[in-house]
Chain A
């Protein structure tokens, strides 16, 4: 029996590209209402692991179960999951609101008010008509977050969400993460910044050359 509160379960996950094994036999699970941090150097495999969890990359071996469904077999991409993988991509010529509206229209789970609410909650003005191409990196990051949370997912996969944020932005982001954790969301967070990880996470893992170790 799987734990009722277990949101993500990764079993014997390995990823080999060419002759190089980039992720090595990873086994772990993430429970509801907690923040899990993954630290590691550039190229250690953090982003690849997140891409596997999000269904962007098919692992060579092993399986990933999110919300009780196996990625790549039962579902292509995890349902009820918000994600940011590094720099969030949007249609550059559209405004932030229009971009989120396009995305929300795909699932039709939320209305315009909820989109506005999500943008406001991360410090963006939904009435700002500026095209996304004119956004600063910090604003794009905030828009990425609004995109990730707008459909009220139970799992958030955030790869370097503090990238491009100024000090005030980082403070805001930390506050949002703790607020979402209090709301019962499970958050997977990858960051270079050890302070973020120590301050926010319940459990911390270190990724080193594709291997994952739990830190004390």
Chain B
């Protein structure tokens, strides 16, 4: 019985983890990170548009967060902060783990962590859409404003220090709906990677190493993407930024988008297999001692 997958048990753990997380002070850190992204990406975009009397696509400010190298680092770091002390397998959880079985416990943890990532991205989406809706349109095409931002309005754009223009390689190759779907999908898969890495190291009794590996992936990914080194494709960070897939506007792809999607999915499957194996071998030495 305990080895069978039970949705009731998986969602029970999911609900319990959420109740615990919502009471955690880490919620404030998440709100701060959302506020930072809105204040440094969405609002400056709106301001420049307002000053120049331009209108823009409602999805454009949201896309900036995934496609400006210096901004995108905030998303995986915030997510890591949120999940870094999960999954909890301490003494106070021993009786629940026994009752739900290892497979249900693992799936419940993955579902919970992934839902945290989804909520974060969803909140960013909703808040950015609500703030921008006044001067924006919704259509599967980009505004002239977005295309002029890095050329005609470059001096206004750099005022906030982040630089909110996206590369022409993004808007020349991906329509907004596809861009949002690809960015969110790949970011969720990256979050799944982070969660599974964290779970694997918790199951090795080395939670801190999980955090270090995750931070290293973000850090090295950031540097290699920033300088556009070829090894950026080894790291999830570089794969998410759609504009990086092309060298120039209307040029051939450096790495096709589907390669990146396959890379994330294959990685997630491999990490899940490793996590299952670690859980099978996991000894609760610390429990009850």
Chain A positions within 8 Å of B, measured between CB atoms, are 47, 51, 54-58, 72, 74-77, 79, 83, 85-92, 102-103, 105-108, 147, 159
Contacts and interface: CB of A to CB of B under 8 A. Distances in A.
A87 B96 contact: no
Contacts of A107: 99
Given A75-B3, A77-B101, A89-B90, A102 B96 contact: yes
Given A57-B283, A87-B288, A106-B12, A92 B96 contact: no
Q: Which of A76, A88, A90 gathers most chain B CB within 10 Å?
A: A76
A56 B102 contact: no
B281 interface: yes
Contacts of A77: 2, 97-99, 101
11 contacts: A51-B288, A55-B98, A57-B284, A57-B285, A58-B281, A72-B280, A79-B1, A85-B287, A88-B288, A92-B92, A106-B12
Interface in B178-231: none
- Secondary structure type dominating chain B contacts: helix
B9 interface: yes
A84 to B, nearest CB: 8
B95 interface: yes
Nearest to B279: A76
Contacts of B280: 58, 72
A146 B2 CA distance: 21
Interface residues of B, number: 30
A74 B3 contact: yes
Interface in B94-110: 94-103
A87 B91 contact: yes
A97 to B, nearest CB: 15
Contacts of B90: 89
B2 A103 contact: no
- Secondary structure type dominating chain A contacts: loop
Given A57-B284, A86-B288, A75 B96 contact: no
Nearest to B287: A56
A61 B92 CA distance: 29
Given A47-B289, A85-B94, A102 B3 contact: no
Nearest to B282: A58
B96 A103 contact: yes
B8 A56 contact: no
Contact of A102 (B9, B16, B97, B281): B16
Nearest to A147: B95
B284 A56 contact: yes
B20 to A, nearest CB: 8
Contacts of B101: 75-77
A56 B289 CA distance: 12
Interface string B133-166: 0000000000000000000000000000000000
